[in-house]
Amino acid sequence: MKAPQAPRGTQDILPHEQPYWDLVRSIAAGVAADYGFQRIDTPMFEETGVFERGVGEGTDIVEKEMYTFEDKGGASITLRAEGTAPVVRAYLEHGMFKLPQPVKLYYVCPIFRYERPQAGRFRQHHQFGVEALGEIDPALDAEVIELLWTLYARLDLKELSLQINSIGDEKCRPRYLDELRSYYRAHLHEVCDDDRVRFEKNPLRLLDCKVPSCQGIADRAPHSAEFLCDECREHFAGLRHGLELRGLDYHVNFRLVRGLDYYTKTVFEIWPAHGGSQSTIGGGGRYDGLAEQLGGRRTPGIGFGTGIERIILNYKQAHPEGLAPPAPDVFVIALGSAERDAAAQIATELRRAGVATASTYGDRGMGAQFKAAGNSGARFALILGPDELASGQASLKDLRSAATDGKQLAVPLSHVVAEVKAQLAS
RNA sequence: GUGGUCGUAGCUCAAUCGGCAGAGCUCUGGAUUGUGGCUCCAGCGGUUGUGGGUUCAAAUCCCAUCGACCACCCCA
């Protein structure tokens, strides 16, 4: 029988990788708390309509990337394909519009999309995201972007750039799309085949075509920011003012559009300087029409999602020295059967006192036990042999440096826990 | 979903024209029946991703399939 493999595009997060995950999750939770965001967990799956209506029927996510199945009751279920729509669904379902606004929520969760995997792109990946609902002030947009930037800064990620744009709203975007279409209509004979499809289906996407021969045409296309209505223009100015107030450098990128239908006004992405074609590390925007799309009352919102796998990728590039896995405080070494029994009792006492304690198992030689102690990364070895037991003592040895090599402290068995705690604190 | 590159031990990689599947690291034991890191010795570890085909003979050539990676599509 063939041994099974993890399904395509999924991966096991092994113990040596966990320190990176712990670090990112704890810093993310800390930043969220500093900005007044509270955690929410939504189900791993939703009624399919949450994504169809929320994200948009014409988007790639809905059209070809959802893990959708029928459950035994006949309901159409979809694995969480995106973070924002479920949070907005929960906001409406639980009447959070009755709470003081804005409601500021964050999540850390897996996302599932049926895509062709590459480095930094998976069928199951994880996102940290925030959503601030019920407020239209562009200062909130700036604060959300600042939050994301702060997360990366606390992780000391290098060479990131903030790209922003405004794609207008229901009132002014149609006018811009007409303008964009008429511009492209004159160039249809010289653009790529994909662009001709985009022209019909989703003209905004014309702007981020990567075919070299289409670049010049996209560069000279009309800018959405020049066709904004008064409200959107003021909002965009407010956003830029807010970013400047906060000392955040940004590039207005008029070719920045995003693949989800619900965005209005503000859109933004954060890019690493280097990286492949799917290197965007985080992105988001404003979605003032989403709640209504989902059948609720009109509620403005702004948020982002950032990929934890991609953050870790960038973190490792910025910190080549890596993160050490957690190590025990004390490694207990015992020689002889009675000594192993005594060592087991001491280990129990140490652990009760909150001291991380490890040992080998079975009847292993002193050399092997010291080798295991060294490999474990333990700070101290606590040695319990016939000599020690006979005198009611244990030997405590600092394993970290050669400087203390050879020196061992004799500690009465009754004082081992107190002495170890004192040594660890020093 | 499209096009391409690549799969040999847990990891990094060798293997000449198609001719006995190897090394380093890791791990285990020993040198040292009470002291880790350094050194030396030995051992464990393989259906060469999987399945088929060609051949006296396949890691090597052919087909399929699974997976990783790269460029698209698109995203985090």
What's residue A69's pLDDT?
A: 94
Q: Indicate if the pLDDT at residue A404 is higher than 60.
A: no
Taking residues A365-389, what's their average pLDDT? 93
Q: Helices H, strands E: what count in chain A?
A: 15, 16
β-sheet with A76-79: strand ranges across: A45-47, A76-79, A68-70
What's residue A308's pLDDT?
A: 96
Of residues A373, A101, A140, the one with CA closest to residue A239 = A140
CA of A367: nearest nucleotide by C1' is: B35
Q: Give the Cα separation of A53 and A316 in Å (integer).
A: 38
Is the Cβ–Cβ distance between A408 and A397 less than 8 Å?
A: yes
Among A63-67, A141-145, A158-162, A252-256, the range with the most confident prediction by mean pLDDT is A141-145
Q: Give the Cα separation of A4 and A308 in Å (integer).
A: 26
The percentage of chain A sitting over the pLDDT mark of 70, rounded to a whole number, equals 97
- Convert the pLDDT of each residue in A5-16 to its tens digit: 899 999 999 998
What's residue A406's pLDDT?
A: 63
Taking residues A126-138, what's their average pLDDT? 98
What's residue A277's pLDDT?
A: 63
CATH topology of domain A330-425: Rossmann fold (3.40.50)
What type of residue sits at position A17? E
What's residue A227's pLDDT?
A: 94
Distance A61 CA to B74 C1' (A): 8
Taking residues A59-67, what's their average pLDDT? 91
Taking residues A350-358, what's their average pLDDT? 96
What type of residue sits at position A30? G
Q: Give the Cα separation of A209 and A214 in Å (integer).
A: 7
Tell me the pLDDT band of A2, cut-offs 50, 70 and 90.
Answer: low
CA of A2: nearest nucleotide by C1' is: B50
Q: Indicate if the pLDDT at residue A405 is higher than 60.
A: no
Q: Give the Cα separation of A96 and A92 in Å (integer).
A: 6
Distance A324 CA to B14 C1' (A): 31
Burial label for A8, CB within 10 Å (0-12, 13-18, 19+), is: exposed
Task: Please name the residue that has the structure tokens 């003209």.
Answer: A203
Map residue A271 onto helix, strand or coil: strand
Is the Cβ–Cβ distance between A328 and A350 less than 8 Å?
A: no
What's residue A284's pLDDT?
A: 96
CATH topology of domain A15-172+228-318: BirA Bifunctional Protein; domain 2 (3.30.930)
Tell me the pLDDT band of A197, cut-offs 50, 70 and 90.
Answer: confident
Average pLDDT of every residue of chain A: 93
Strands (E), A103-217: 103-112, 124-133, 160-166
Taking residues A346-353, what's their average pLDDT? 97
Distance A119 CA to B6 C1' (A): 15
Of residues A56, A78, A49, the one with CA closest to residue A66 = A78
- Convert the pLDDT of each residue in A70-117 to its tens digit: 999 999 999 999 999 999 999 999 999 999 999 999 999 999 999 999
Q: Give the Cα separation of A371 and A321 in Å (integer).
A: 24
- Convert the pLDDT of each residue in A26-35 to its tens digit: 999 999 999 9
Peptide bond into A102 cis (omega under 30): yes
Distance A280 CA to B27 C1' (A): 40
Q: Residue A16 to residues A8, A293, A325, A327: CA-CA distances in angstroms?
A: 21, 43, 6, 11
The percentage of chain A sitting over the pLDDT mark of 90, rounded to a whole number, equals 77
Question: Which bases on strand B have an atom closer than 7 Å to a protein beta carbon?
Answer: 1-3, 26-37, 50, 66-76
What's residue A354's pLDDT?
A: 96
Q: Indicate if the pLDDT at residue A56 is higher than 60.
A: yes
CA-based end-to-end distance of chain A: 55
The residue ranges of every structural domain in chain A are 15-172+228-318, 330-425
Q: Indicate if the pLDDT at residue A276 is higher than 70.
A: no
Task: Please name the residue that has the structure tokens 């509620």.
Answer: A299
Taking residues A119-139, what's their average pLDDT? 96
Residue nearest to nucleotide B32 (CA to C1'): A367
